[in-house]
Amino acid sequence: MAPVSADGALRSILACKVTDSGKLIDSESVTIALGVPTIWQGLLSALDELGSSAKTLKRTVIGGSACPPSMMSEFRGKYGVDVVHAWGMTETSPIGTVNALLAKHDTLLEGERNKIRESQGRPPYGVQLKIVGEDGHQLPEDGVAQGNLRIRGHWVVADYFGFEPNQTLEEDGWFETGDVASINDDGFMTIRDRSKDIIKSGGEWISTVELEGIAMGHSAINEAAVVAASHDKWDERPILLAVKIPDANITEEELLAHYQGKVAKWQTPDRVIFVEALPRNATGKVLKNKLRSEYGEVLVNKPAS
């Protein structure tokens, strides 16, 4: 109801082509838009197709899954649109964090500020976050340590309908989010992965979110998902499922070369599999369990070099 309280208008898009969304932004002089990365990826392509500059659009709020850095750069660099990264869950009603730079960040170079903007931000008043290790002990907020993310606050879920009371929250009211994250000394939280999606290869953690963001930074890639595949030597290794931009010509070797200098060699996916589309649920999130089921054995008996 924020637009109404500010004497503005609210336009909800239930189901339409992305080109229609682009036209709506222009025809209705939309100034702020909210959605998941899947929507914005299609919208950016639509704006380019329409030749629109989205001149009235000032800000996008992106959540639901991590926003690729390349998407933020395109919104800011090409359209002058401020991108606000946010995170939350149905169980947090729904805002858990919002990324807003601090006054001290004004003196930083633009590239340094953009790096901070990639995080999911800080919790609003009344909400607390912490990360814990596998032993349940709290980890330092140094921006390096990563662990299971927990959240607590007055509007965080207390119980699930139909469940026994007092079975949902951890000790002292903490809710286990199912995300793996890090928190820096300013309280900015960065989602590293979902706990069920993060890859443990030879005892080392590999973030699928980071690898997907790098793939999405290639001009020939429209969608990307990284999942764990079983491996005879390393237990798990990352593989990349990628959807090309229409008429794009890129090979597996070329896409893997795109990772050079961006992550360590051992973090680079072992395979690239080009697909027509990624399976998604009703809210646009990739169904990684389906991808693991279909592609999880492609590396068995094929050790990485």
Is residue 161 scored above 60 in pLDDT?
Answer: yes
* Sequence-distant (≥ 6) Cβ neighbours of residue 263 within 8 angstroms: 210, 211, 214
With bands split at pLDDT 50, 70 and 90, how would you rate the model's confidence at 301? low
Is residue 14 scored above 80 in pLDDT?
Answer: no
Whole-number pLDDT of residue 15: 61
pTM (two decimals)? 0.87
Q: Are residues 111 and 30 in the same domain?
A: yes
Find the CATH number of the domain harbouring 44.
3.40.50.980
Q: Are residues 35 and 105 in the same domain?
A: yes
Residues facing residue 129 across a β-bridge: 151
Find the CATH number of the domain harbouring 132.
2.30.38.10
Q: Bigger pLDDT: 251 or 134?
A: 251
With bands split at pLDDT 50, 70 and 90, how would you rate the model's confidence at 102? very high
Count: domains in the chain: 3
139-65-31 Cα angle (round to 5): 120
The two most distant CA atoms of the chain are separated, in Å, by: 63
Structure confidence by residue, pLDDT tens digits, 169-225: 987 999 999 999 999 999 999 999 999 999 999 999 999 999 999 999 999 999 999
Spell out where the chain has E strands: 32-35, 59-62, 82-88, 95-98, 127-132, 147-153, 175-183, 189-194, 199-201, 204-206, 221-231, 235-244, 271-274
Whole-number pLDDT of residue 117: 97
With bands split at pLDDT 50, 70 and 90, how would you rate the model's confidence at 3? confident
Whole-number pLDDT of residue 286: 95
With bands split at pLDDT 50, 70 and 90, how would you rate the model's confidence at 302? low
Number of Cβ atoms within 10 Å of the Cβ of 237: 25
Find the CATH number of the domain harbouring 267.
3.30.300.30
Torsion of CA 112, 238, 143, 105, to 10 degrees: 20
The verdict on residue 3 lying in a domain is no
Whole-number pLDDT of residue 112: 97
The verdict on residue 305 lying in a domain is no
Q: Are residues 185 and 205 in the same domain?
A: no
Range of the domain at 37: 18-118
Is residue 1 scored above 80 in pLDDT?
Answer: no
Q: Are residues 176 and 235 in the same domain?
A: no
Across the beta sheet with 95-98, the strand order is 32-35, 59-62, 82-88, 95-98
Number of Cβ atoms within 10 Å of the Cβ of 83: 21
Is residue 303 scored above 60 in pLDDT?
Answer: no
Report percent pLDDT > 70 for the chain. 97
Return mean pLDDT, the chain: 93
The verdict on residue 136 lying in a domain is yes
The verdict on residue 181 lying in a domain is yes
